[in-house]
Structure 1
Amino acid sequence: MRKKQLSPISPLLPQNTEYGFTLIEFMVASSLALVVLLAIGITYGTTSRMKRTSENRLAAQQDLRNVSELVLRDAQMAGAFGCFNMGNLVPKELPTSPGSSDGFQSPAKFQLKLGDPNYNGISTMSNTDASAAFSRHNFIPKPGSKVLVFTYGLHPTPLDSTGTKTTGASEELRSVVRAGGHVALSSCSRMYIDKHRSNNIKINSNEVDVSDFGTGPRTSNSNNSAVFYIPQTTLSQVYSAAYVVGRINGVNDTDALYRFTLDKNGQWSNPQLMAANIQSMQYSAIYSGCDDTSTKVTFSENRDQLKSTANITRVSTLPTIIEVQLRLNNSPSTYGVVNQYLIRANVRGGNICANLF
Structure 2
Amino acid sequence: MKNKKHYPLITGTQNIKGFSLIEFLVASALSMIVLVAVSKGYFTARQLNSAADSRMSTQQDLRNAANMVVRDARMAGSFGCFSMAEGNSNQTITDNNAATSKSDVFKLENTAGNMGVVRQITFSATGFTATSDALVFLYGAEYAKDKDGKPVINGEPSVLSTCDTVVRPAGDAKADVDKEETALKAGARGNEVSVLRYTVNAYVTGSIGGQTGLFRFQLNGNTWGSPQLLVSDVTGAAFRYMYVNNCPDGEGNTETFQYSNNLNGIPAFVRISLTGAKNPNQIYTIDAAIRGGNTCANRSLS
Asked if these proteins are the same fold (TM beyond 0.5), I'd say yes
Kindly tell me: are residues 198 and 17 of structure 1, through their superposed partners in 2, closer, same or farther at Cα, counting changes over 3 Å?
Answer: closer
Partner of 2:216: 259
Distance 2:191 2:144 in 1: 11
Corresponding residue to 1:327 among 260, 275, 291: 275
Distance 1:292 1:187 in 2: 31
Structure 2 unaligned blocks of 5 or more: 9-13
> What is the percent sequence identity of the aligned residues?
28
User: Is 1:218 aligned to 2:185, yes or no?
Assistant: yes
Partner of 1:178: 154
User: Is 1:289 aligned to 2:245, yes or no?
Assistant: yes
* CA displacement, residues 113-160 of structure 1 (integer Å, 9 cap, x when unaligned): 37949952111222xxx32xx12xx11223xx21111111100699xx
Any conservation in 2 of the 1:87–1:318 contact (CA below 8 Å)? no
Q: Quote the offset at 1:198 in angstroms.
A: 3.9
Matches within 5 A, 1:116-195: 116=112, 119-126=115-122, 130-131=123-124, 134-135=125-126, 138-142=127-131, 145-155=132-142, 168-170=149-151, 174=152, 177-179=153-155, 181-195=156-170
Corresponding residue to 1:110 among 98, 106, 109: 106
Any conservation in 2 of the 1:79–1:87 contact (CA below 8 Å)? no
> TM-score, normalised on structure 1?
0.69
Kindly tell me: are residues 191 and 281 of structure 1, through their superposed partners in 2, closer, same or farther at Cα, counting changes over 3 Å?
Answer: same
Following TM superposition, the consecutive aligned residue runs of length 4 or more in structure 1 with deviations greater than 6 angstroms are none
SS in 1 for 2:138: strand
Any conservation in 2 of the 1:153–1:184 contact (CA below 8 Å)? yes
Kindly tell me: are residues 347 and 33 of structure 1, through their superposed partners in 2, closer, same or farther at Cα, counting changes over 3 Å?
Answer: same
- AA at the equivalent of 2:271: E
SS in 1 for 2:149: coil
- AA at the equivalent of 1:140: T
Partner of 2:11: none
SS in 1 for 2:116: coil
> TM-score, normalised on structure 2?
0.80
Corresponding residue to 1:298 among 250, 256, 260: 256
Any conservation in 2 of the 1:192–1:215 contact (CA below 8 Å)? no
Matches within 5 A, 1:1-357: 2-5=2-5, 19=17, 21-91=19-89, 92-97=91-96, 105=101, 107=103, 109-113=105-109, 116=112, 119-126=115-122, 130-131=123-124, 134-135=125-126, 138-142=127-131, 145-155=132-142, 168-170=149-151, 174=152, 177-179=153-155, 181-198=156-173, 200-201=175-176, 210=178, 212-213=179-180, 218=185, 227=187, 229-248=189-208, 251-252=209-210, 255-263=212-220, 265-291=221-247, 293-294=249-250, 296-301=254-259, 317-331=265-279, 339-355=282-298
Q: Quote the offset at 1:56 in angstroms.
A: 1.6
Distance 2:201 2:255 in 1: 30
Kindly tell me: are residues 284 and 195 of structure 1, through their superposed partners in 2, closer, same or farther at Cα, counting changes over 3 Å?
Answer: farther
Distance 1:228 1:109 in 2: 32
- AA at the equivalent of 2:41: T
Q: Quote the offset at 1:108 in angstroms.
A: 8.4
Paired positions, count: 287
Distance 1:232 1:289 in 2: 33
- AA at the equivalent of 2:79: F
Distance 1:228 1:139 in 2: 46
Measured on the aligned residues, the alpha-carbon RMSD in Å equals 3.5
Q: Quote the offset at 1:268 in angstroms.
A: 2.0
Any conservation in 1 of the 2:104–2:110 contact (CA below 8 Å)? no
Distance 2:162 2:256 in 1: 30
Kindly tell me: are residues 343 and 303 of structure 1, through their superposed partners in 2, closer, same or farther at Cα, counting changes over 3 Å?
Answer: closer
Distance 2:249 2:148 in 1: 39
Q: Quote the offset at 1:328 in angstroms.
A: 1.6
Distance 1:269 1:230 in 2: 33
Partner of 1:311: none
Q: Quote the offset at 1:228 in angstroms.
A: 5.9
SS in 2 for 1:81: coil
